[in-house]
Amino acid sequence: MDALSLIHARAGTEPVRLGLILGSGLGHLAQSVEGVAIPYADLPGFPHAGVSGHNPNLVIGTLEGVRVAVFGAREHYYENGNPAAMRPALELLKALGATALIATNAAGSLRPDIRPGDLMLLSDHINFSGLNPLIGERTDARFVPMTDAHHPVLRAALRAAAQAEGIPLPEGVYAWYSGPSFETPAEIRAIKTLGGDAVGMSTVPEVILARFLGLKVAAISTVTNMAAGLSDEQISHDHTKAMAPLGAAKLERILRAFLRAM
């Protein structure tokens, strides 16, 4: 049985409206969905998604009255060297009827006014890695325009949801670094010079793939640390997992308000 047929068999055939990719610290949000959780391992062709702190289940159901598909984990480029690892998952999201994707992630801040525990709405991104998930695509659809890749209407709706909840949501530019090693202070200075406001190891491939598939996209970072060389804190994956919940509670409130407004 293919992945779409399996989902229809377990979760029904009602179309979903929106996809959510959950970053570090947000896994509990999937548990709030009234629906069915399907392990990635049950879905043919699905990503490996083996990073600790993530929950590799696809949850199909209702959250705040909206039919959603919630991805509890993503496969990062650094896991297997495949920037297109999330393509099967996003193709499936499109097949399920979704027209939009909201991605979340954990990130390091380059701005003194955005601190650990804060959130940042992505206004744009920099592909600092130079990798692209569409390399190898044979059709002319690979030439995807990326102006307004982070959809202005979705961003406005998320800002309105944050304002309604009384939560600051500054906008900024996210730089994708391949990982899995963290950035050096010199690399952070370079990213800052290029116009980056936050840095992380995900999201940009998903944005490119989603735009390729015709999905509208918006993304929010939970800041877990100041980037290398900008503070005395010791950066590690354990530190990221420990700090992510500080912003996750605020992010959940924004996402719920955003869904209610839909």
Domain segments of the chain as ranges: 3-261
87 DSSP assignment: H
> Contact, 203 vs 105, CB < 8 A?
yes
Using alpha carbons, select from 225, 179, 206 the residue that is nearest to residue 73: 206
Extract the tokens encoding 97.
Answer: 């009827």
User: Residue 262: pLDDT above 60?
Assistant: yes
Model-wide pTM > 0.85: yes
- pLDDT tens sequence across 34-68: 999 999 999 998 987 666 556 789 999 999 999 99
Extract the tokens encoding 145.
Answer: 């325009």
- What average pLDDT does the structure give for the chain? 91
Report the distance separating Cα 43 and Cα 48, nearest Å: 11
Residue 106 pairs in a beta bridge with 222
Report the distance separating Cα 260 and Cα 251, nearest Å: 14
Using alpha carbons, select from 237, 210, 235 the residue that is nearest to residue 103: 210
Which residues are identified as catalytic?
24, 54, 76, 78-79, 106, 201-202, 225, 237
Identify the CATH homologous superfamily for domain 3-261: Nucleoside phosphorylase domain (3.40.50.1580)
Residue 108 pairs in a beta bridge with 199, 225
Contact partners, residue 236, CB within 8 Å, separation at least 6: none
* Least confidently predicted of 183-187, 196-200, 235-239: 235-239
Extract the tokens encoding 111.
Answer: 């701005």
| Maximal C-alpha separation, the chain | 52
pLDDT at res. 248: 84
